[in-house]
Structure 1
């Protein structure tokens, strides 16, 4: 038996615009835990998860990223027998913009290398996760794979090195799940089509999203959470223009603001998924969570800092 683990992620700022060369900020979401356990099985290669239970070869197409990853990993290990059980567990729902697909891939890769007692470098891990993410999302930024293996927040611009940094000071994020599956791949493709059709509107909007992300990075470094909240509000307004939000997300964002949030926005690919709301302290986070709990499928509270 071997066990591979990973954590989820939260895109604080920069979703979608990061694909076009603007900054993004992501933080580890350690409350989101994903595990893959590999055990011996008497018959064929098998998967057991919340999404599918059965032979790997009969897995539904929406799991192509995982089935391909597992098959390629086993080929690399020169393992031709078909007698392993992959049990995947997670306390976060899939397709919510919290990095579930990347985190599952991380846990699978770690479990396979551990099962075969093989060393796994950080770069190998990221390369394997990228294999799965390209199938899952088409044109991934690489951010999800990196942040689901990082202990620190990351600042990132496409094709540039990831920059780990620290967040200090007291502030909290309330995460609320809309109960609707996000559609990252569809959202990215839809926005790409909109940009082709109307560059005059969407190119400046992306630039404004990038400016908001850069300003948020500076606000975090200065522990200016009020400014961060204002920029989060602005980012959500711009993402709505980009048509990647959803009425349920907008309702959750408005509810969080009415409950006293410094700022609130969708997080991740959009068209469903989650929102995040910024609270100045834990009591306020509890108030925001209480307001959101009547509308959200699930809520979490996490400290913004990584002290």
Structure 2
């Protein structure tokens, strides 16, 4: 281990100490102040909604991004052009605009299309007619987040795949591995180590962007904070707690991603050392 590495390992993360100090101050306020306690318990009900929207949307985004990136790197030009069109258009639309579009334009279109396609079964009484009001706003928000983030995640996947040394791909082909086996055993494991940090950043960003679903009335942390502060006029205390709850989630996730990144970095160094 070099002196520089030793020094880096011994560095004290002052930013983390400062964040912990702020968290301790807020926690003490919650414990000691009855008003803060009331606010905290009122807003904590929205944590489950925030986490639910984020985790479901992120999972669906990864699945959709996988399909998009496979088309993006496909040898067929038509698929590449369609995937590129999707990525560039979606990335160019602000998240809030896309949220409104899916919630108030896409959802009614989907309901009309569903009723048209299922009309024979609806007439037979096998299905009930779907209404726009019956389309849950939480799922409208999840769909909007999924579409928006899938475009960004697809580009992360593409960058990770293209960062793998082409010589290794050629060597796999020379050994007789097919396209799928080359991707599965050679490209994917190396690409995963490269895309882990930006994927962690995207998940953190999605937790923060999930606050936008409050404009649809979804009962997440932000929406509950808006309602509580509007009824009590305790804006300072309420938004202190809102920020605290989001920071606990985002900083905890960032630390987990850094920990996984350090573990994978050590495994890569050990692998390279064994190869030598």
Higher relative contact order (CA 8 A, sep 6+): 2
Please give the TM-score of this superposition, normalised by the length of structure 1. Answer: 0.23
Please give the TM-score of this superposition, normalised by the length of structure 2. Answer: 0.25
Whichever structure has more helix as a proportion of its residues is 2
Pick the structure with greater CA Rg.
2
Whichever structure has more strand as a proportion of its residues is 1
